[in-house]
Structure formats: structure tokens, C-alpha cells
A and B are shown apart, each in its own frame.
Chain A
Amino acid sequence: MPEVGRLAVCLALLFAAYGVLAGVAGGLRRRAHLVRSAEHAAYAVFGLVVIATAILLRALLRHDFTLEYVAAYSSSTLPTQYTVAALWGGQKGSLLFWSLLLTLFTTIVQVQNRERNRALMPFVTATLMTVAVFFLSLLVFVTDPFERLPVAAREGADLNPLLQNYWMMIHPPSLYTGYVSASVPFAFAIAALATGQLGDQWTRSVRRWALFSWAFLSLGNLLGARWAYEVLGWGGYWAWDPVENAAFMPWLVSTAYLHSVMIQEKRDMLRVWNVVLVLLTFALTIFGTFLTRSGVISSVHSFTQSGLGPFFIGFLVFVLLVAGGLLAYRLPELRTPATMESFLSREAAFLFNNLVLVGIAFAVFWGTVFPVLSEWVRGVKITVGPPFFNRVNAPLGLVLLFLAGVGPAIAWRRASPRNLRRAFAGPVAAGVVAAAALALARVPLGYAFATFALGVFVLGTIGQEFWRGMRARQAMLHESAPRALGRLVGKNRRRYGGYLIHVGVVSIFVAIAGSNAFRIEAQETLKPGDEMVAGKFRLRYERVTSEENAHLSRLAAEVSVWRDGRQIATLAPEKRFYKKPQQPTTEVAMRSTLGEDLYLVLGSYDPPSGLVTLQAYVNPLVSWLWIGGVIMAGGTLVTMWPSAAERRAVAYELGRAQVPAE
């Protein structure tokens, strides 16, 4: 069976290579049958990759330890859901999984565009198939997931215990979905450059894909944070690890694109810039994969290190050369006469928003590669750790938050003094009142203070937008308040969905600022019945319980939690020992409320004396990180939902196309 899998991957590579050639040839010579043939090849590639993936999954589920991959990343006692997750738990599997997503998205794009974008499609297919050729070549020539062991293993080495967690079931697929779907806007951008059809057509065609990719990158990052928070047990959720940075950078650039493309739609400006952002997002996803795979930069994500680095760098250089060359070739046509009426306009606010987003992405990139640079230039190893990233990015983040409050409310083209007063008097007043309240509550002046006050300002502008829109509908159309609100959002999904996303972003900012500024830590060694204090909580260590099965053994410390003389919870932080990889892990116990998380880690246990060392963290406002994520997801759904107006716009476009040539 595995041989069939290998054959499927080899055939897929051949079909993909054919797809590239037929696509380019058909596009250049305008041969419709060649183009169709390229598309059919892409469908075949998808089918073959599905077969290969199914075979690998079957081997995992049947514990076929004759396969190197199965023996390395699973075991006969691994729970089924993690056996499925082992598909992306190791490098070979994750490359296959990547190919699966890529070819799936290619198939969807082709089905969506059977009758549309016919001029662009040959190059879209060719670009996506080029990416597929790269990943499939790795699977065929470098790192074969169906490799047999010389002698079958009796038992598997098991999945890394840190990955045996339910967040790990969804974090990597979500991040991969975000990464891989960024290929679609990239392919359309390349197609637009290749054909010279540089108008709005391609941006409009990829709007949903860009949002989809962005949404999954957001989700992937947040789920990763959640995983780190629960599994790594150091009390935090983000450590500016190179691989976290690798996932964060494309998100930042993609966010910039989603904003600047609105200027192109409204004012037909910034065509070059938008192409650059799309190309850069894709390049950063490849760079991110390179970081995870290469081990050039040391990272806690070294689950899947290997010698693949040079291949990824090679592909990255290829992508940058082709994309850069096409861009340079089309540059004269891309330039549009741009005009702007004032610095006080939404266009200008968006330009500065782009500057800050790309600036943060650059700062993160710079900090991530600086150790390598230092070693080249000075021959000295240095560390660029969390303190660097926090210090550099915190002020930039505040500017961004401020702009998030300005952008939605300021007028397009030119904001008159009257317009500014009308738009900002209320929100600024709200921000000032919030600042005064914070000062009265003796919140120290600092980033948290500024974030909270600015957050209120941003929520003020957004709330005002909703309120005014609703009132206008009520006045003009005599609708009830809830109906007016629902209709308002329903009729302008992109706009109000975007505002909702901003609400989620504010929530995340508040969580980050609060949990960094006001966390409390305590550590003590206790014997049964002893107590310790963490902030307003009193913790009493009651007893230790233990449990053992074939897969792991666990040890839990039962801790009762008291506040104001009342017992409010019992928590049981654990230490686990996974038998196959002979590796201990800590399982955090948490009591989460909207105000704060009480986060307990069982540090150590000494059986003879019964002494345990407990580490307690009180992390304020962390819940708002996850709540913000849910709000963002909701907002994204609102934004992506197709509306009647949009269908009319498509009809309008078709109508325009039929009007005699202008």
C-alpha cells in the first residue's frame, strides 16, 4: 500500500509539472483547450494527493510501523485523535498535508472560475501548480513520507507529548490553511502581472480568499497562543519565538493589504503597493516555513527540524525573482494617476496604518534575523529575545490602535473641521473620561494605561458608527431598534463586519496590555495542608493523587483555592510522564474568569516528604484574548457573507463588459 502512496505522489508531481507548462503555454498562445487541459491536470494532482494522504493516514491508524514516518511520530497506545494529528506532527506528513490543502484550494479556485476570469486563469493555475511542484518535489526527491524502515519497528517512538493536546489538533491545520490559502491571492497577482490585466478584476476576485487566509492566520496565531498558554506552562502565551514571528509577519502584511485594497477600490490608487503586499504575504509564508524547517534560527518549535532549509531559501529566491521581474516589467502600466485632497482623510489614515503594520512586520523580521546577521558580521552569537520585541513593538502597537479609532470615522477625500468635530468629539471625550477613571483607580501611567484609554476611544468611534447608522434607519424607515441594527449590518456587511473585527482587536490589545502589566507570580514549596498566597487568592495544598496507564503516568496535586475566606475552586495541576518518548510534561490547572486567570503549575514533587513546589500566576484579562478572537471570527463571517448588493455589483460588472468598447 505505501508503494501506491509513493506512486501517487510521483504521478502528482508529473501532472503538476504538466499543469505549469500547459497553463503557461495555453495562456501565452491563447489556446483554450491547453488551458482546460492544465486545469484537468490540476484536478488530477488533487485526486492523487488525496489518495497519498489517505494511504498515510491509513498507515498511521493501523500502526504500520514498517513506515519510518509512522514509527517516528505515533505509537500503538497513542489516542486516535492524536494519531490523526500525527499526520501533520512531523515534517514529511506536514509537507504532504500542505500539498493536500494547496491542491484542494486550486481545485476550488478552478471550479469557481470555470466561466470567470478566463484570461487570468491559465496563469493562476500555472502559479499554483508551480508551488505544488515545489512541495511535491520535496516529497519525491528529498523527504519521502512512505519511506520503509529496513527492519519494521516493534513500537513507535510516539508523538511529541507537547503536541498531544487538543489545541494542537486545530492550531497547525488552521495556520496551514492560512498560509496555503495566501497562495491564491498570490497566484492571481502573478496572473494579473503576466496578462497585464491590472485593474480591479483580480483584487475583487481574491477578496474572499485574502480574507479567508487572513482569518485563518489570525485563528492559527490565537490557537497557537492558547496552546502555548496551556501546554508550555510558563504562564505566558507569546514568547516572540522565531516560529511565532514567522506566523505573525504574514498576518501583519495581509492585514495591511485588506486595508489598502479598499483605497484601490474606492479611489483606484495604490495598485503597485497592493500587488507588493500580496507578493510579500506569500513570500513571508514560505519564509516562515523555512524558519520552522531549517533550524537556522533556534526555536522552541524545533519539532520538525531538518536539512530542508536550502530548498526553501532557493524557492523563496525564485519566487522573489519571478514576482519582482514581472512587477518591474509591468510597473509603467501599474502607475495610476493618484490624487489626494488632504492629510485629514481616510486615505491618509489608511496609508499610515499600512506604514505601521508593515513597519511592525519589518521590526519583527529584523529582530528575528538579527542574530544571524550578528554572527555573520561580528562572529558573535547574540540573543534577540522578548524584551527587544516588546520594547520595539509596544509604541508601534499604540499608534496602530489609535489609527484603528481614526480610520473608520474620518471622511474619505477630505475631512472638514466640522466633520472632524462630529466624528471625534464623542469618542475623544469617552477616551478622556476613561483616562480620568483609570487615573482615579490609580492605574500607573504606562502602556496598559494608554492601551485602555485608547481602547475606549476606538470603541467610541465604532459604537458611534453603529448608533448613528441605526438611528438614521429608525428615523427614515421607522424600523425598530434591533431590526434597524440588523438591517444596517446586513446591508453593509463589509463595513460593519470590519468594525466588529476592530472590536475584537481592541479586546486583544486590552488583554495583552493587562496581562503584561499586572501579572502576579508566586512560588512556594509546601507540605500537605500548607498554604500560600497569590494576589487575592489563598491556595492550600491538600494531597497528591496519581494514576497510570499504558501510555502515560500522571501525578496531580490537589489544591483548594480560597478568596475572602470562602473556598471558590479546587484545582489539580499535573505532572505527566509519557512512557514511549520517556518525557515529562506539566499540565497546567486554571481557573479562568473575565477578570483574571489563576494559573497553577506543579513544579516538583518529592515522594518521601510529600513536599510539592507550586508556581502560581495571576494573569489579568487573559480571557479577553480568546473573546477577542471569537469576536474577530464573527466579524470576519459577517464580512465574508455574500450580500444582495454584491450580486448586483457582479451583474453591473457583466453589464459593463457588454457595453461597446470605450
Chain B
Amino acid sequence: MSPHAADGLSEMLGQVTGFIFPNEIEIHWGILIVVYPYVTGLVAGAFILASLVKVFKIKEVQPTYRLSLLTALAFLLTATLPLLLHLGQPLRFYEILLTPNPTSAMAMFGFVYAWYLMAVLLLEIWFEYRCDLIRMAQSARFPLDWIYRVLSLFSKDTSEEARSFDRKAIQAITIIGIPSAFLLHGYVGFIFGSVKANPWWGSVLMPIVFLMSAIVSGIALVILLYMVLAGIRREPIEMACLDKIASYLFYAVIVDFSLEALDFIHRLYQSEESVKILGSLITHKLFMSLFVIQILLGMFIPLGILALAKARGFNDDLRKLLYFTAVILIQLGIFATRWNVVIGGQLFSKSFRGLMTYKMEVMGIEGLLASLVLLALPFAILAVLVKLLPIKLAGETATP
């Protein structure tokens, strides 16, 4: 919190409705902590899409395989930055690796993250690109040729045997990778879901809902990037691929919506003590972000668009436009989902008798600008990755 924040707090005192515990006036997990599950969700979702090709052998989705992997990597590399920036003492971050508390989900997440980065994503990308790296090491100019040689770990074997081993390795890694991706983002859901003090967060369904919305956002992101990349490169988009992914997106949104609806109905029906204040929360504080953005714009309208594109035999260009619109809306919707969970959970008092407000700073290390930079950074990284590691968007098989 910046030095001026104390004035901000007195301002917020005036905006409290009802009764809150005095220490609750300060919203501790702000926009940065909304960005964090959003980003890890994209990682998990993009990886699941990649796994469709390798494990479930969905051939049509092949053109987006490498893009999904690189997207997952780009976002994974920046995933820890919001956490770092939000710490009260960021320079002590290493403590979490040095003396982790095994009962803390947050501490264990560091190791899950390391596992996923090293043992799943980097490994899979390496096996996928190994032969390409060898080839490019031979043809590139200095310094790129040395970069490729180091990246390929000075490997030289491009025989059919080696390639077939690569393919098997990729399959094995992806099979391990799917539960690892589930663990990665499920853990984030668990960090919230295990907090019994907070009835908005503390729910068994939380990790599942988080994961499903992550898959939705990841698939939508890959569609978006595929279309944008093909547009930049002026390459044709394979409609069979796009239609297939959009179809999976459609089903994913349906499952996600069902889970969230289940959570809602369950709460309403059980009518536990917190239902009154939570009802007050969503009608007064979260109306826009929940009903309008998350549900209407983020789920119902994209569902309608995708169903329309599926059912009516529209021409290619119209379908592309529809898909593009749908995925943008979905990204907004999933971001709003994260907002509603993270910020929403802190807008009501644990006394169940009052509501607070969140004043998002614009400047400052935890402000809006910092968050926008953190959201833009993975795209910059992805641009570098795509330059370094080639992606052929159409008509190729990944491992030659």
C-alpha cells in the first residue's frame, strides 16, 4: 500500500455499509491477484488444448499444437510476477522456497509450478522442437546458431529412431501433463477453496470451477492467437481446425456454466447463514461484473454465437467473425469470473453484517497499470518465442 493509501482508507470508511471488522477495511488481494489465476488458467487451458492432439489424437487441431505449447510457456513464465509484485516484502520471496510450510497451499504451489514448468512444459517443447532446433542450428547465422545449439543441448541425432522416441516421449509427457495442468490451476482454486473463513471462497467446487473456466479461457485464447497470427502472417486459416476447436470451446463453456450454476443453486437451496450477505454482495457490489459481464456477456452470448455458428452453415468469413467475437467476450467473461471470486470474496465482512468497497489504484506497484503491463508481457514473450521457435499454422505435421 502506498503512503497515500491511508487517506484512501478513510475515504473507504465512509463507503462501508453495515458493520465490518475494523481490519477488513483494507482489501488485501487486489487486481494483481485477479490477474494471477487468470494467467495460470490460460496456461492450463492452452495445454489441455495441446493435449487434445497428442493424447486424444484429434488430428484436426494439429495446426494449433505448437502455438498452444508456446502460449502456455509464455504465460507460465509471467505467472509468478503478479505474486511477486503483490508481496508486502517482495525481496523475501525466496523464503517460500527455503522454508516452505507443507500445510500451506501457497507454499506447495511453488513446487507444483516448478514441476509443471520443468518436467512438463519445457520438456515437451524440447522434444517437440528438437529436430527443428538441430536443423536451424545448422542453417542459422551467428549468434542464433549457437543459441539453437545450446537449446538443443548439442544433440545431433535426427534419425527416424530418434524421432520416433521423441514422439513417444511427447505422448508420455502429455499424459503426465494433463493431471499436472489440472494440479497447477486446481491448486490455485484450492488456495481459495480451502479458506473456511470465507464462505464465498470456501467450497469444494472451487478448484473444479476454476479449472473448467481455465480450460474455457485457454481454448478461447488459442483460437484468438491462431486467428491473429494467421492474419499477421497472411496465412490461410484452416477452417476444419477452427471449427473443431470452437466446438470444444462450446462444450467447455456448457460444462463451465453448469458447474457455476450448480454452485449457485446449491448455495441458494442450502440457505446457510452466509446466504443473506452473499445475496447482498452480488446484487449490490457485483451486479455489473457478475450478471452482466461474467454471465451475460461472458457465457450466454458466446454460447449463442457458437451455437449459431455450429448450427447454421455460414460461410467461412462470417464464422471467423463470430468466433473472434465469441472468444473476446469469453476472455472478458473469465477475467470477470476471477474478479468476482477474488475481489468479491473480500467485499463482504466476515461478520456477515456489512459490505466494503475496493478502490483500485491506477499507478503504484499493485495498480491497474502494473496489471495491464503484466497482462501484455506474455504476448511480448510469445512474440519472441514464435520468432525463435517456428510454428507452421497450416498443413503440417508437428514432428517431421
**Does A associate with B in a complex?**
no
Q: Give the A-binding residues of B (Cβ under 8 A).
A: none
Q: Give the B-binding residues of A (Cβ under 8 A).
A: none
